[in-house]
Structure 1
Amino acid sequence: MISVNELSPGELAALLHFHAEAGVEWLLEEEAVDRFAEFDAMKAARRNAAAAPRSESREALPRAVAQTAQKSTLAPERPAPRPQPSIPDGEAVQQARFAAESARSLPELKTAIEAFNGCNLKHSARSTIFASGDATSGIMVIGSAPGADDDREGQPFAGRPGQLLDKMLAAIGLQRDAILLTQVIPWRPPGNRIASTAEMDICRPFIERQIALAAPKAILVLGNFAARVFFGESDTIHGLRGQWREIAAENRTIPAIATLHPQDLLTAPVNKRLAWNDLLAFQAKLAEL
């Protein structure tokens, strides 16, 4: 086994990043625990209890277990995590819809999402990711779900995907701070898995209300999951990208086009030419509007 002391700072950082991407939330307890000594002590206590007369066994065993617990190197007990209330999916959707519709501004909607506990994704995420940027720009970019970097930094499109997105936007004359960036799901799914249908149904009222309150003139949708959510199809992003469609937002419709997510482009750089064509189409639409 390789000791942490044998790793360079760069290697240690890479190892921690790997664990974070894999969904590891806790690494070690605050104090070392010798589980082998603890197990041996428990076995010894059981043997002693079994060897004692049956009349004394009822008192000896609890005494031995108590002594074992005192002698073992157990870390200080942590308070048990508070159980989260289990809300039926249908009821959670209704609560989410009520909370979203009650918000009259984006700040109010952010407060409502942060106070909402009806989605299990929130209980495993570090951060609630809300829209950032300029809500008055008329331009909205919507991704799929927060990644590990987003969850750590508390903002959408952080880390390497965010850096690539900044370059993509700059290529068509846009800047992150001058448009509105958000994501379909406000909480990172564990291990970056795809959100379930029930989880998406619960989160849908929040993203729909974001669109209605921001009232953008055009929307750029990033990634396979987000495109399926808005366009209601099961095709891949390669079949959904590059086509202008409409997203309904209360009493109006907004033109939207989908393209590959920056993470997709990091995985398969050969697809950058496809994304570039989509970005040019988005730029031309903005010029028309």
Structure 2
Amino acid sequence: MYTLDQLKYIVSQCKMCELYKERNNTVFGEGNPHARIMFIGEGPGYYEDQMGRPFVGKAGQLLDKMLSSIELKREDIYIGNIVKCRPPNNRNPLEVESKVCIEYLRWQVKLIDPDIIVCLGAVAARNIISQDFKISKERGAWIKKGKFHIMATYHPAALLRDESKKRDSWEDLKSLRAKYEEILDVEKRG
């Protein structure tokens, strides 16, 4: 079994799809290696590619505010992406790119072992929950897969483009906080 650092190194050397040709940095993921909550986005954007860190642009700043609104910080969670290299012009990852890279994400999930997984946006939800997932209809619903409680919500970038989605996103965040508290409560009573 790999450690997160070993896996990060392997990802940094990856050339299994065409995305590596354009990258400045791989964006492995970051946060608490023992996080109870893991957020998964679709892939790095321009700023993430420059810095090698997830969610550092405007969407990342909004994500930080969203976390703060439910009394969480980046240090409390782990953030990863479906693909670890930036797709050209910030397009959605192609299926072939996602299929190759998702193996790395599976290892991350296995190593971090969260209780809750939050898919940020349709691309993440289609790769994690179901290929025909409809974010506008199914967001906010909890799905149990194995030991994981999984929910999809709008990607912060979508909220920046369309403020009308913010109310639904706020409801999802409150639901996330409630699920987290429920898990902690069950453990206390344990």
**What TM-score do you get using the length of structure 2 for normalisation?**
0.92
**Matching residue of 2:37:** 139
| Distance in 1 separating the partners of 2:95 and 2:62 | 29
Candidates 166, 172, 176, aligned match of 1:272? 166
Which of the pair has the greater relative contact order for Cα pairs under 8 Å at 6+ separation? 2
Aligned residue pairs, count: 183
How is 1:66-77 mapped onto 2 (pairs within 5 angstroms)? none
The question of 1:282 aligning with 2:176 is answered yes
Matches within 5 A, 1:25-174: 103-174=1-72
Distance in 2 of aligned mates of 1:160 and 1:117: 28
Contact 2:125 2:133 in 1 (8 A): no
Q: What RMSD in Å do the two structures reach over aligned CA positions?
A: 1.2
Counterpart CA distance in 2 for 1:153 and 1:240 is: 33
Amino acid at match of 1:111: Y
Counterpart of 2:128?
A: 230
Q: 1:259 aligns with which of 136, 145, 153?
A: 153
- The CA distance in 2 between the partners of 1:261 and 1:131, in whole Å, is 16
**Mapped partners of 2:102, 2:35: distance in 1:** 23
Partner Cα distance (2:15, 2:131) in 1? 29
Q: CA deviation at 1:127?
A: 1.0
- Tell me, in whole angstroms, the C-alpha distance in 2 between the residues paired with 1:126 and 1:179: 25
For the 8 Å contact 1:227–1:240, the answer to whether it is kept is: no
Q: Distance in 2 between matches of 1:258 and 1:169?
A: 15
- SS of 2:147's equivalent? strand
In the alignment, the residues of structure 2 paired with residue 106 and residue 279 of structure 1 have an alpha-carbon distance, to the nearest angstrom, of 27
Classify the secondary structure of the residue corresponding to 2:119. Answer: strand
Partner AA of 2:170 in structure 1:
W
Report the Cα offset of residue 236 of structure 1: 2.8
Cα offset, 1:199, TM superposition: 1.1
Distance 1:233 1:280 in 2: 26
Cα distance in 2 for partners of 1:235, 1:221 equals 11
Larger radius of gyration: 1
Render the CA deviation track for 1:32-77: whole Å, top value 9, x for unaligned: xxxxxxxxxxxxxxxxxxxxxxxxxxxxxxxxxxxxxxxxxxxxxx
1:193 aligns with 2:91: yes
Give the whole-Å Cα distance in 2 for the aligned partners of 1:245 and 1:235. 12
- Cα deviation 1:128-151 (Å, max 9, x = unaligned): 001111111211111111111111
The answer to whether the 8 A contact 2:118-2:151 is kept is yes
> Match of 1:221, SS?
strand
Q: CA deviation at 1:240?
A: 2.6
How far apart in 2 are the matches of 1:253 and 1:246? 7
- Identity across the alignment (%): 36
Give the TM-score, by structure 1 length: 0.61
Query: Which structure 1 segments of 5+ residues have no match?
Result: 1-102
Residue of structure 1 in register with 2:101 after alignment:
203
Amino acid at match of 1:215: D
Aligned mates of 2:138, 2:5 — CA distance in 1: 32
